[in-house]
């Protein structure tokens, strides 16, 4: 199958040819004909399978076939993160480059005036994050009465980030007569329940299983490292890595701390997470993509939607407590048919996370024991107080209370002089 055989508008085909696209990916080959026939769609696909083009191309085709009398929002794509919204909008602009269709993207974290100005000029294809979308709608800047196509992308991440109430509010204000598309990497019960509220009864389902699982495409290794020695281990690893490296941390504060350590040692690094301004995030991502920034340190939420071609290395500075997240992380490298490498640093309190990950991918991750910090790791792993991950808010054992450099317990108040 080729794009030429799908009956697409010549202007879309021209745009695809300019991008070097000739053969649809599996999700595109299955989804585009169904969507062109007007069916609602439930799609299960991992990031990197080409799903953005799978829904954007047929939507553009249908808008071109039945243009409205005036420019109104005909298609709405809702995504969980700013980065993913920008990526979807960029793709829509590429595929409609030879048409008169207008695409706009709106998200929070930046001033709303430029976005409002775009909306006032007229938009056909709108990409948005939930909060800013509802905010501008409530202010009267967004009219969804003429909407014909609705896409909910990365639905599982949307629920993880707490957007379920926003989505329910949105469903009350969009027209009931519409074509709906629902995409999610996983399909737990709450996602299936949400999809039943969005899709019509005769919807079609497309499920794309990666021919070779990410865990097999990506070279993996794990290093046992004492928590306090992780920064030194990371610096040691970076000496052997060419090109750019994406490092994952669990918290915003932790990511910032890693960046400070790397920069102090002369390694160009920047962090992206929810507390960073949109301009800072875009600047860091641009520098990372063009190679002027060697290391990008990210939280899982901020990394959703990041598409970096040719990324060879992913480092799990901290292991995720949800095993599926590990697969998403290492999937940032080894995209499509490319190969990549993932390295995980595992401290003693993360051993249960490692077990859960290996259970999910049904394979042990190769352990590298020949490294400079193995002695500290063995000492930490032998400590019975480090056998379980600490729960949020849990205090450390008394005998592990932090000490200052002079060896005294720094949690004690100084004695009053008599």
| Domain-ending residue, one of 207, 225, 244 | 207
Judgement on whether residues 104 and 244 belong to the same structural domain of the protein: no
Give the bridge partners for 207, in sequence order.
Answer: 44
- Among 160, 184, 207, give the residue marking a domain's end: 207
Over residues 366-411, the pLDDT tens digits come to: 999 889 888 888 888 777 565 554 444 433 333 343 443 344 444 4
pLDDT confidence of residue 214: 56
Q: Is the pLDDT confidence value at 20 over 90?
A: no
Query: In the predicted model, what is the mean pLDDT of residues 279-300?
Result: 85
How far CA 203 is from CA of 41, 60, 147, 179, in Å, comes to 5, 20, 19, 10
Are residue 47 and residue 132 in the same domain, yes or no? yes
pLDDT given for residue 291 in this prediction: 82
In a domain, 397, yes or no: no
> How far is the C-alpha of 114 from the C-alpha of 192, rounded, in Å?
36
Residues 191 and 283 in one domain: no
Is 199 in the same domain as 223? no
Predicted TM-score (pTM) of the model is 0.65
Are residues 55 and 142 located together in one domain of the fold? yes
Q: Is 350 part of a structural domain of the chain?
A: yes
Residue 101 lies in a domain: yes
Higher per-residue pLDDT: 399 or 361: 361
Q: Are residues 275 and 300 in the same domain?
A: yes
Q: Are residues 184 and 271 in the same domain?
A: no
Residue 304: its pLDDT value, please? 65
The token pair that represents 225 in the structure block: 């490292």
Please report whether residue 108 resides in a domain.
Answer: yes
pLDDT band at 130 (very low <50, low <70, confident <90, very high): very high
Q: Same domain for 202 and 140?
A: yes
* 109/239 same-domain check: no
The 3-class SS string of the chain reads CCHHHHCCCHHHHHHHHHCCCCCCCHHHHHHHHHHHCCCCEEEECCCCCCHHHHHHHHHHHHHHHCCCCCCCCCEEEECCCHHHHHHHHHHHHHHCCCCCCCEEEECCCCCCHHHHHHHHHCCCEEEECHHHHHHHHHCCCCCCCCCCEEEECCHHHHHHCCCHHHHHHHHHHCCCCCEEEEEECCCCHHHHHHHHHHCCCCCEEEECCCCCCHHHHEEEEEEECCHHHHHHHHHHHHCCCCCCEEEECCCHHHHHHHHHHHHHCCCCEEEECCCCCHHHHHHHHHHHHCCCCCEEEECHHHHCCCCCCCCCEEEECCCCCCHHHHHHHHCCCCCCCCCEEEEEEECHHHHHHHHHHHHHHCCCCCECCCCCCHHHHHHHHHCHHHCCCCCCCCCCCHHHCCECCCCCECCCCCCCCC
Q: Are strands 295-298 and 245-248 parallel, antiparallel or unpaired?
A: parallel
Q: Is residue 31 part of a domain?
A: yes
**Are 219 and 245 found together in one domain?**
yes
Mind listing the pLDDT tens digit for each residue in 53-80? 999 999 999 999 987 768 899 999 999 8
What CATH code is carried by the domain that includes residue 108?
3.40.50.300
Residue 321 domain boundaries: 214-390
Q: Does 180 map to a domain?
A: yes
Quick one: 184 and 87 in the same domain? yes
Where do we find the tokens 């509220």?
197
Among 151, 174, 207, the domain-final residue is 207
What percent of the chain is modeled with pLDDT above 70?
A: 85
- In this predicted model, what pLDDT tens digit does every residue of 294-315 receive, in sequence order? 899 988 876 765 667 668 899 9
408 lies in some domain: no
Number of domains observed in the structure of the chain:
2
Q: Is residue 399 part of a domain?
A: no
267 and 349 share a domain? yes
């Amino acid at each position: 199958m080729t794009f030429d055989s799908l009956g697409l508008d010549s202007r879309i085909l021209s745009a695809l040819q300019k991008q070097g696209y000739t053969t649809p990916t599996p999700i595109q080959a299955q989804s585009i004909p169904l969507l062109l026939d007007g069916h609602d769609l439930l799609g299960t696909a991992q990031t990197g399978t080409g799903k953005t083009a799978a829904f954007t191309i047929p939507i553009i085709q249908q808008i071109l076939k039945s243009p409205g009398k005036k420019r109104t929002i005909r298609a709405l794509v809702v995504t969980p993160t700013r980065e993913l919204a920008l990526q979807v909008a960029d793709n829509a602009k590429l595929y409609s480059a030879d048409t008169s269709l207008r695409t706009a993207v709106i998200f929070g974290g930046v001033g709303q005036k430029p976005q409002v100005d775009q909306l006032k000029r007229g938009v056909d294809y709108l990409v948005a994050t939930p909060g800013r979308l509802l905010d501008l709608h409530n202010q009267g800047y967004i009219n969804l009465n003429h909407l014909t196509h609705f896409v909910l992308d990365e639905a599982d991440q949307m629920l993880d980030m707490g957007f379920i109430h926003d989505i329910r509010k949105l469903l009350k204000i969009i027209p009931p007569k519409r074509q709906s598309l629902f995409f999610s990497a996983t399909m737990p019960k709450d996602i299936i329940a949400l999809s039943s509220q969005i899709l019509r009864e005769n919807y079609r389902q497309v499920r794309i299983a990666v021919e070779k699982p990410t865990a097999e495409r990506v070279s993996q290794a794990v290093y046992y490292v004492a928590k306090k020695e992780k920064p030194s281990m990371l610096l040691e690893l970076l000496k052997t890595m060419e090109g750019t490296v994406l490092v994952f941390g669990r918290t915003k504060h932790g990511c910032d701390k890693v960046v400070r350590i790397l920069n102090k040692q002369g390694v160009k690094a920047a962090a992206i997470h929810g507390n960073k301004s949109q301009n800072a995030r875009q600047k860091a991502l641009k520098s990372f993509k063009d190679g002027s920034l060697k290391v990008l340190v990210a939280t899982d939420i901020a990394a959703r939607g990041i598409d970096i071609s040719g990324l060879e290395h992913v480092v799990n500075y901290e292991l995720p407590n949800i095993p599926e997240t590990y697969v998403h992380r290492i999937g940032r490298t080894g995209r499509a048919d490319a190969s990549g490498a993932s390295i995980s640093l595992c401290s003693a309190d993360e051993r249960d996370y490692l077990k859960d990950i290996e259970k999910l991918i049904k394979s042990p991750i190769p352990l590298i024991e020949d490294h400079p910090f193995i002695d500290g790791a063995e000492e930490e792993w032998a400590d019975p107080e480090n056998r379980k991950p600490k729960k949020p808010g849990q205090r450390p054992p008394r005998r592990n209370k932090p000490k200052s450099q002079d060896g005294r317990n720094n949690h004690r108040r100084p004695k009053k002089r008599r």
